[in-house]
Each structure stands twice: as structure tokens, then as C-alpha cells.
Amino acid sequence: AIYDARVPHLWENTLTGDEFSWRLPTLGLWFTSLLNRHQQYRNWLDRGRPKSFMLNGFFNPAGLLTSMKQEVCRKHKAERWSLNEMVYVGEVTQVERPEQLKSSPEEGIFIHGLMLEGASFERRQNCLVESEPKVLHSPLPVLHITAMSRAKAAQKKRSLGELYECPIYKYPDRTDKYLIAFADLPCGEKPKSHWTLRGVSLLALS
């Protein structure tokens, strides 16, 4: 496998077939991902909580978001927010790279490294646009994702105009098994049905 630049099966799965690392098509990409994960954890240990998280640097990305939701819920303890009544709200920032961030958000977390499939995101217009010809994936600016009560989330979404509820997947396999969460992306000049038919999604690992 290594001779063919493929990831050895036992580096990805246990003997029973359970995944315990991450799937990438070549050994080079797998090792690069390993180094990026190590760097994220090393910086976290040395410098404290990062301003932005690389979502594909976690074996269980949904677990990171669940922890964030619990953190936000505790901040609103006086308002008696219930964890079961909270939903994720994702909003694209105007920041292209995590190094440009000055601080962490007051609530929620920043996420970087997501790739958009089926569309591109126009940062100046702050909305979805058609992909360039022959471009399968395009980078999304830093995403701010937080949690709110259902009522507050619905109120916020109404103020932002028409939004496409974009699924975030761990892998290009679009199954519930690899679904992490949803992010609300402004539709721009096209209706959300257009982006639904395009099959637009966000990928943590592409």
C-alpha cells in the first residue's frame, strides 16, 4: 500500500472495520492531515484555546459542536435555555483566513477549512454564486457557528433574508452517517430551491 502511495487499511480501520482515523485518497494527503491535526493540538496546548478550529482536525467533529452548544447553554442559564431546545446557527464571516481573526467570538466558535461543493461563496456580496467552470470545490471563508434557542434562531434567520440550509459533511459521502450540522448561507440572486437542486454542500474533508 505504501509503495502505491495508498493509506494502509489498518491506519484507517480496526480489524473489525470500524474507522478510527480519517479517509483520504493518497498517503501524502493522509500524512499532511496528520501533521495539521498535530499542529492544531500542539498550538492548543501551548497557547490556549484557538481563535478558530479546523473542523477536519477532529475525529468526531459533531462532538466539538455539541461541546460548544453546552457552553452556550451554560452562559444562558439565567434565561433557562434548554439544551434540547437549542439549534445551531452558522453564519459566514468576511474573514478569509483564520490568521486574520483578532479574537474568538463572544459565543460559539469560528471554523475554517471547509470546502463548498456545487457553488462558490462571493465574500463581497456575502452570498452563494455559481462555481467557476471545472471547479469542483471552493474554499469557504471562516464560518461562525453558534447555538441559540429555536425562537431566537428563527428571529435571526428572518432578518437575514432567504437562506439555504447547507449541510456540512465529514466526507463527500452524503449520508446521515457523515452529516455534522447545517450552516445558513445567503442565497443571493437565486432562490434556495436552485441551490438545493445543485446539491450544494460543505465538506470538512474533500
Is the confidence at residue 23, as pLDDT, over 80?
A: yes
Domain that holds residue 167: 50-203
Q: How confident is the model at residue 18 (pLDDT cuts 50, 70, 90)?
A: confident
Residues 16 and 103 in one domain: no
Distance CA 206, CA 198 (A): 17
Distance CA 126, CA 201 (A): 17
Residues 75 and 31 in one domain: no
The set of cell numbers assigned to 80 is 433557562
In this predicted structure, what is the pLDDT of residue 170?
Answer: 94
In this predicted structure, what is the pLDDT of residue 106?
Answer: 93
In terms of Cβ atoms closer than 10 Å to its own Cβ (0-12, 13-18, 19+), residue 10 is exposed
Q: What is the pLDDT of residues 75-115, one digit of tens each?
A: 988 888 888 889 999 999 999 999 999 999 999 999 999 99
CB 157, CB 172: distance < 8 Å: no
- Give the closest residue to 138 by CA, choosing from 193, 96, 181: 96
CA diameter of the chain = 59
Residues 115 and 25 in one domain: no
Residues 77 and 170 in one domain: yes
Residues 31 and 119 in one domain: no
Q: What is the pLDDT of residues 32-80, one digit of tens each?
A: 999 999 999 999 999 999 999 999 999 899 999 999 999 999 998 888 8
Distance CA 179, CA 177 (A): 6
